[in-house]
Amino acid sequence: MKVSFAATILILTAAALIAYTFSFNIPSYTIPSDLKPYTGVFGMYSPSNSLLVTFDNFTAIRAINQTAVPNSQLLKLTKPAVTVHMSSVSSRTFVTLLNSTTKVNNTATIAFVSQGAFSNLSLGLSDSGVPSVPLNGFDTYNVTDTSNGLTKHEWISLVPEDSAVVFSEGASPARTTIGEILQVRQGLSPSILSV
């Protein structure tokens, strides 16, 4: 019994040594040191402590299938009376963060819209009389959204440089979530892509 065990080990060792000696060389490559970091649009708005980040590139989806993205309402604000349809959205990101105080998840939507839709929304908010609340260098507005037949109270902020609309449903935790996202956009907090 000891001889058969020793013989088996000896044969396996010899087979491994032969295979190693005659094995194929595995090519290896060095990553260039000047490789630029990935700076996807969703990373500009996604804090490093994000629990979940999703990204929808509607421009690419529509290029393959025009009917794949229904022209539903992204936003339908009651005051100001402004509607943003999905046809004007080029891409959308959802970012979910954990509120460390309440231990509740908060999700914000970042929608990148056409210049026309952004301009209508921006002018509507500034002319509506809805008071703006400063947050990290941006104005936020507490609005009522009745898109797709659902009434939601949301905080909303606009980022003119990107034609982006950032909004989140709820009270002060929603505003806090928007604040964390805008800090990443300003480079004041680390992005999910930088960790």
User: What pTM was computed for the model?
Assistant: 0.78
Residue 189: inside a domain: yes
Residues 124-174: tens digit of each pLDDT: 999 988 899 999 899 999 999 999 888 999 999 999 999 999 999 988 889
Q: Tell me, what amino acid is at 70?
A: P
- What are the two backbone dihedrals, phi and then psi, of residue 35, each rounded to the nearest 5 degrees? -65, 125
Domain count, the chain: 1
Residue 21: inside a domain: no
Phi-psi region of 143 (alpha: psi -120 to 50; beta: other; left: phi over 0): beta
Residue 5: inside a domain: no
Residue 119: inside a domain: yes
Residue 84: inside a domain: yes
Residue 27: inside a domain: no
Residues 88-104: tens digit of each pLDDT: 999 999 999 987 777 78
Tell me what the mean pLDDT of segment 44-55 comes to: 92
Give me the pLDDT at residue 73, please: 93
Residue 30: inside a domain: no
Residue 125: inside a domain: yes
Strand partners, 105: 98
Give me the pLDDT at residue 25, please: 67
Give me the pLDDT at residue 5, please: 81
Residue range of the domain that includes 176 = 41-194
Of residues 100 and 59, more confidently modeled: 59
- The answer to whether residue 1 scores a pLDDT higher than 60 is no
